[in-house]
Amino acid sequence: MTSGAELPVPLIPHSKSFSARILGIFIAPKSTFRTIARAPDWLGVLALTFLVNAGVWAVVFQTPVGRFALMDRWESSAIAFGQTVDDDRYAALETASERGAIYAVAVAFAAGPLLAVVLSGLLVLALRPLSSGVERVAYSQVLAVVAHAGVILALREVVAAPITYVRGALGSPLTLRLMLSGLDEGSTFARFASGIDMFVLWWIVVLAIGLSVLYRRPARGLAVRLFGVYVAMVVILVTTMAVTGGTQ
C-alpha cells in the first residue's frame, strides 16, 4: 500500500460514472478514491448499498428457513450473554421472526447509512492531527470514502444471504474460525476467531486506502490503526460473553 501523498483534493467535478466507481473500488481503489475525493458523491452509493443489504435479507427472512435462522441467531446470542431462553421467550422470538423483513430493513439502515454518517464523523475527529500541512479535508469527502468502501460489506451480505438459506444458519461467509479446523467451539479463542471477518479486513484495507488519499498518509499505517480498533472491539465482545458466563 502506498501513501497517496501526491494527490491534492480540490472539489471539482469528476467524469467517472457511478458504475465505474463501484467497480473501481474492487479493481483499482486508489485511483477511484482520487476521483471520489475531488468530487465527493456519497448519496447514491449509500442508497445502493442500503437497498442491496435490505433487499437480500428481506427475501431470505420471508422464507421459513430464513425465519428459523433468525430465531436461532437471537437465541444463541441471548445464551452467549448468559440469558435464559424459556418457552415464553422462545415464543416471543418466533413471533418477532415473522416480521423479519422489517428487521432486515432496520439492520440495513443501522449498519449502512447510519453507521457511515457516524463513522465518518469519528474519523474526521480522530484523523484531525494528521491533517496538518494538508488542505482541509471536508466531512463530505470522508463520508464519500466511507460510503464507497461500504460496497465491500454489501458484497459480503450478497454472498452470505444464499449461504444462510442453504445452511439454515446466520453467519459471515468467511471468518477466521472457518479457516481454522479443530477448535473447541465454546473456547474463547474460537469465539475470537469467529469475530474476525475476512470481508471486514478487506473493507479496512480499502477504507485505509481511501483515507490515505485524503490525508496523504501511508495506507499501511492507517490500516494498522483501524485493524487495532477492530480487534479491540472483538476482544471486548468476547470478554463480555466470558464474564456473563454464557455459552454458545
Query: For residue 99, what is the DSSP state?
Result: T
pLDDT at 15: 46
**Cα dihedral 213, 214, 217, 223 sign:** negative
Task: Give domain status of residue 5, yes or no.
Answer: no
In a domain, residue 6? The reply is no
Alpha helices in the chain (DSSP H): 18-27, 29-38, 43-61, 64-80, 87-97, 100-109, 115-126, 139-167, 176-179, 188-195, 198-215, 219-244
Nearest to 58 by CA among 99, 17, 26, 3: 99
The CA-atom distances, in angstroms, between 40 and each of 65, 79, 147, 218 are: 41, 44, 10, 21
pTM assigned to the model: 0.85
- Residue 240: give the domain boundaries: 18-244
The predicted structure's pLDDT at residue 184: 60
Q: Report the phi/psi class of residue 13: left, alpha or beta, with left for phi > 0 and alpha for psi in -120 to 50.
A: beta
Q: What is the largest CA-CA distance in the chain?
A: 62
Answer whether residue 61 is part of any domain: yes
Q: For residue 178, tell me if it sits in a domain.
A: yes
In a domain, 155, yes or no: yes
Specify if 11 maps to a domain: no
* Helix, coil or strand: residue 175: strand
**C-alpha cell of residue 61:** 427472512
Q: How many Å apart are CA 146 and CA 116, to the nearest integer?
A: 6
| CA 14 distance to own-chain centroid | 27
pLDDT at 172: 79
The pLDDT tens digits along the chain (248 residues) read 444 444 444 443 444 789 999 999 999 999 999 999 988 999 999 999 999 999 999 999 999 999 999 998 888 878 777 777 777 888 888 888 899 999 999 999 999 999 999 999 999 999 988 776 667 889 999 999 999 999 999 999 999 999 998 988 887 778 887 766 666 666 677 778 888 899 999 999 999 999 999 999 999 999 999 999 999 999 998 888 777 765 44
Centre a 10 Å sphere on the Cβ of residue 13 and count the other Cβ atoms it contains: 7
| Count of the separate structural domains present in the chain | 1
Q: Looking at the domain assignment, is residue 223 inside a domain?
A: yes
Q: Please, are residues 123 and 142 in contact by the beta-carbon 8 Å criterion?
A: yes
